[in-house]
Structure 1
Amino acid sequence: MSSKKIAAETHFPDPPAVVVREYDETRDKAAVEELERRCDVGQPGEAALVTDLMGDPIARVRNFISHVMLVAEYGYGGEIVGVIRGCIKTVTSGKTRSRNEFPVYVKLAYILGLRVSSTHRRLGIATKLVQELESWCKDKGAEFAYMATECNNHPSLNLFTQKCNYAKFRNPTVLVQPVHLHYKSISSNVAILRISSQLAEAIYRRIFSCSEFFPKDIDCLLNNKLNLGTFMALPKQSLQNWNPRTSGGLPTSFAILSIWDTKEVYKVQVKGVSALKHVACLGTRVLDAMVPWLNIPSIPNVFKNFGFYFLFALHMQGKQGSRLMKSLCKFAHNLARDDVDCKLLVAEVGQMDPVREAIPYWKKFSWDEDIWCIKKLGEAANKDLDDWFKSTIPSPVIFVDPRDL
């Protein structure tokens, strides 16, 4: 028998199918944690930020009422080789109804935490995970889906924009400040108040009604255990004229923000840095500890697992607004200074947001563009949202929900 005839009669089994299903904590937790640990981050020899989920793999979306986590199985043994998370929320679109200026809300799906094993890439697994998640979100009534990634994450951008038909939509700025060993001094003319979640909700609904992505369930966000509180800064002389319990308006000049603690959900660390940079960073901390009054800008130990505080809902108003926001950021820094596991302060704001200029940050740790991509899943309940979806001009303020991190 000729070799050609043998080849023709040889039967090769079909490749195993990819099965996508919902995450089952009792049987999948260990496999998902192992998959997350194995996934490559960055290129060999490059500094990379590695995420270590704390405890529950689904914790990143559990803070939303409507959420799901899907896993992809490959092979006849059902090995878990991919994972994706998603949630659905109702947010503002930046548009208002012309007569009463009430915000126009949109039901939005958010996609995050996509991971595929490095040994099973280019098999269409990531695409299938995204498609299955989109189908789940559409069944739950989501009108649009969006995702966020760093501007240099080309594989993720190519997947969503070229294979899954997402369009680049918004480009907020990520601002990062290290937490130093010394405390930052705050002017004696500035009063900083911690306000109740009820008052914070009322203020936020008022000042963010025309922004994009402001969550309708802001009350759930503010009352979440990971929210460390909402704080206002105002000139001390304003305290005589403004009382949060009795005044119906807002102070002439003020700044406000809330602080989210990420440590219970995940921790991060920097890998791939040379020994020389390790020593240089250590040197800044030693000097800062020895002579704290010099206010040396030390670099914390980011080479071991650490958490960070996320500053959100930042807003300033009035002639002294910028000065007051800087004082609030100093207050947040000092709060983080007392938390031994917190090494960074992070904020994400729209590029045209005036508050951006008042937030201290290190350029080397920050990046100008965090790319958000969006896709229409079905017919929107409000036809005005078609214009919003196609608009390349954002509202000045983009509200970044810390639950999306």
Structure 2
Amino acid sequence: MSLYIYIHTHTHNHTFLFFFLSVSIYLHLFLYIIQNHFTYVRTEHMVHSEEDGEEVVVIRSYDHCTDRARVERLERSCEIGHNDRIFLFTDTLGDPICRIRNSLLHNMLVAEVGNELVGSVQGTIKLVTVHDNLVKAGYVLGLRVAPPHRRRGIGLVLVRKLEEWFAAHGVDYAYMATQKDNDASLRLFVGKLGYDSFLSPAILVNPVNRRLRLPSGIAIRKLKVEEAELRYRRHVAETAEFFPDDIDRILRNKLSLGTWVAYYNKRDDYNVGNWAMLSVWNSGEVFKLRIGKAPLGCLVLTKGSNLIGKYLSCVGLTALPDLFTPFGFYFVYGVHTEGQFPMCGRLVRALSEHVNNMAARDSECKVIVTEIGGKGGDDLRRYIPHWKLLSCDDDLWCIKPMKLDVELASSTRSRSLFVDPREV
């Protein structure tokens, strides 16, 4: 009996010790994740209002339970667009941080005046290639300020607090994307925050067409994730700005529909060494877009082309889909070619038509979006189907060094641009 009690007690003590150590380890791990990924921020700032004089603005971390509905209302009140005629509204499908959730390290800050949520900004941190160097880059996106509270310095305070979060995580560069004609954004980021223009890519938008017949002399093959990662690291990493070091995480994400390579079936002296590749991201699973304001001609063209859509398809034309109701889209990323134009350009066109056929089977997908810039961008855009009415060629990326010992990355066209689909 005494031996049984000893053994039982001894085993019980070891079980308790194992349980205690396990809880301790998980607690420390939980605290580490909270500290590094969900750092809570709360500060108060004074901003100037012409109507009310000075007012207190509270900047704090986003709380999904209390802020979700209010951030969605803020998003609906703010328009985004690439010119002064067409405005887009976003539907985050009940998840305001959907655009940054797939990034490993992300943060969202909100601004409050009294009990009213009046602004928000989002940011991500990742390792990327800038001028042949692997650096930590912080991306600023989704800056929103409610229209009645603009021109009071709220946007400035939000971005500065986000930059403090960048600095706390050792970020080398901060960057953002806007439009060349967005004077308010340029006054804030370039005029007040010290950002400099870096690259000017083009956003190419094409309505989803009926299923297209692919050229018979071109083969298209879907790559395994491991093969796609190897090709990107071998052929793109050393030539593209902002190439993400965690490309494997992107390719394995459930939103990444795959990577395809195209080449000529017949190899001869004329086309040997020519191939092209691209990847596709289903952005429509994350959020939807809707045109909120557009020229009368665009509205008439949309309604008219839908009425005669069947007849347009018979003569090889594309009907403009209804973009005034929420729609999803595919984002094409990692477009890369090897060889000479126009041979490799034709391969890109074949791949684009293949993506169109994929999208044609998805009832939620209405357009295909591709963003290209830097070296080879002008050559590529000629072979990527797009509508000029919907596309944008005045996108502007701006960058800012966050450390004194980091040189400013000047504007360059000698390298291509890799656009991370997680941050579209």
Coarse TM-score class (shorter-chain normalised): 0.7 to 0.9
The equivalent position to 1:52 in structure 2, one of 70, 88, 91, is 91
Change (3 A) 1:276 1:404: closer
CA distance in structure 2 between the partners assigned to 1:120 and 1:367 by the alignment: 28
Corresponding residue of 1:121? 150
* 1:220 CA drift (Å): 0.4
Q: Which amino acid aligns with 1:83?
A: S
Contact 1:143 1:379 in 2 (8 A): no
Residue deviations 1:120-151, cap 9 Å, x none?
11221100000000000110110110000122
TM-score by length of 1: 0.85
CA distance in structure 1 between the partners assigned to 2:82 and 2:59 by the alignment: 28
Change (3 A) 1:132 1:316: same
User: Cα RMSD (Å) of the superposition?
Assistant: 2.2
CA distance in structure 1 between the partners assigned to 2:149 and 2:394 by the alignment: 30
Find the structure with the greater CA-based Rg.
Answer: 2
The equivalent position to 1:86 in structure 2, one of 114, 117, 123, is 123
Corresponding residue of 1:130? 159
Contact 1:212 1:395 in 2 (8 A): no
Contact 2:276 2:335 in 1 (8 A): yes
**Count of aligned pairs between the two proteins:** 365
CA distance in structure 2 between the partners assigned to 1:260 and 1:110 by the alignment: 19
* 1:294 CA drift (Å): 1.5
Residue deviations 1:162-210, cap 9 Å, x none?
1111111111111111112x22211112111111111000000011122
TM-score by length of 2: 0.81
CA distance in structure 2 between the partners assigned to 1:272 and 1:159 by the alignment: 25
CA distance in structure 1 between the partners assigned to 2:111 and 2:195 by the alignment: 22
CA distance in structure 2 between the partners assigned to 1:308 and 1:43 by the alignment: 17
Contact 2:374 2:412 in 1 (8 A): no
Name structure 2 gaps, 5 residues minimum: 1-51
* 1:273 CA drift (Å): 3.4
Residue deviations 1:335-381, cap 9 Å, x none?
1111111111111111432433321222222122211111111145x
Corresponding residue of 1:341? 364
Moved more, 333-342 or 211-220: 333-342
Secondary structure (helix, strand or coil) at the match of 2:138 reads: strand
CA distance in structure 1 between the partners assigned to 2:97 and 2:302 by the alignment: 34
The equivalent position to 1:398 in structure 2, one of 399, 417, 423, is 417
Secondary structure (helix, strand or coil) at the match of 2:228 reads: helix
Secondary structure (helix, strand or coil) at the match of 2:95 reads: coil
The equivalent position to 1:190 in structure 2, one of 215, 218, 239, is 218
The equivalent position to 1:378 in structure 2, one of 397, 403, 408, is 403
Q: Where does 1:35-184 land on structure 2 (aligned, <5 Å)?
A: 35-41=74-80, 46-75=85-114, 78-95=115-132, 104-180=133-209, 182-184=210-212
* 1:93 CA drift (Å): 1.4
Secondary structure (helix, strand or coil) at the match of 1:61 reads: coil
* 1:92 CA drift (Å): 0.8
* 1:43 CA drift (Å): 12
Residue deviations 1:17-56, cap 9 Å, x none?
1111111111111111111112245699943121221221
Corresponding residue of 2:49? none
CA distance in structure 1 between the partners assigned to 2:384 and 2:165 by the alignment: 38
Corresponding residue of 1:241? none
- Structure possessing the higher relative contact order (Cα contacts under 8 Å, 6 or more residues apart): 1
Contact 1:233 1:325 in 2 (8 A): yes
Contact 1:232 1:256 in 2 (8 A): yes
